[in-house]
A and B are shown apart, each in its own frame.
Chain A
Amino acid sequence: DVKVTQSSRYLVKRTGEKVFLECVQDMDHENMFWYRQDPGLGLRLIYFSYDVKMKEKGDIPEGYSVSREKKERFSLILESASTNQTSMYLCASSGYSEQFFGPGTRLTVL
């Protein structure tokens, strides 16, 4: 079974904190993605990566950065968390034909 794991299911942080969300996949996929999910808006792509040390901006990259130092790991970083970044964050990885999703991290910024 393909597995995409995320470091936390629930996270509560304070405004201004630096936040790290970690994602690991075990299928040797080259492509990895970070999405944000909000009610009524579906999934919006924040950043994606096609290879180690490569990153591309998605539709809503503002306020976020990413890091991919190893093929299996893709990190999302909130440099200074704000209340409008309270959301569900989903990581995915893919080969050619399908994206596989992790369970999500529900982040609350107070």
Chain B
Amino acid sequence: AQSVTQLGSHVSVSEGALVLLRCNYSSSVPPYLFWYVQYPNQGLQLLLKYTTGATLVKGINGFEAEFKKSETSFHLTKPSAHMSDAAEYFCAVSDSGSARQLTFGSGTQLTVLP
């Protein structure tokens, strides 16, 4: 069975600082991995995804994530935080070879301090 652990339910960074949101997964087969963002009172929006190929994945708004099979991790990073990055971030995994069956982490609320 697949599962996702997001370390840190709340993360605070200063504007301009590095953003690092952690995600570890378990999967019995090569996973598909996703990061979604949810702004207040909105649905989820895809930031980036890993399916196959290059392990460093670039997404929207300057975010990227690296798939590390040996560490079963898919951490999300952004070099310089912006106030508009304040939101909740969800990591998700699929071991079905598609986006049909996603298991989500519990989410990380990112606060950006001025």
Contacts and interface: CB of A to CB of B under 8 A. Distances in A.
A100 B44 CA distance: 8
Contact of A104 (B43, B98, B102, B104): B43
- Identify whether the interface residues of B are mostly helix, strand, loop, or mixed: loop
A50 B41 CA distance: 28
A98 B9 contact: no
Interface residues of B, number: 20
B9 A50 contact: no
Interface residues of A, number: 25
A98 B100 contact: no
B106 A94 contact: no
Contacts of A31: 100
Interface in B7-45: 9, 34, 36, 41-45
B44 A94 contact: no
Contact of B49 (A43, A98, A100, A102): A98
Given A41-B106, A42-B90, A43-B104, A98 B45 contact: no
A40 B106 contact: yes
Nearest to B90: A42
Given A48-B100, A98-B46, A99-B46, 6 more contacts: A9-B41, A42-B106, A42-B107, A43-B44, A94-B99, A103-B43
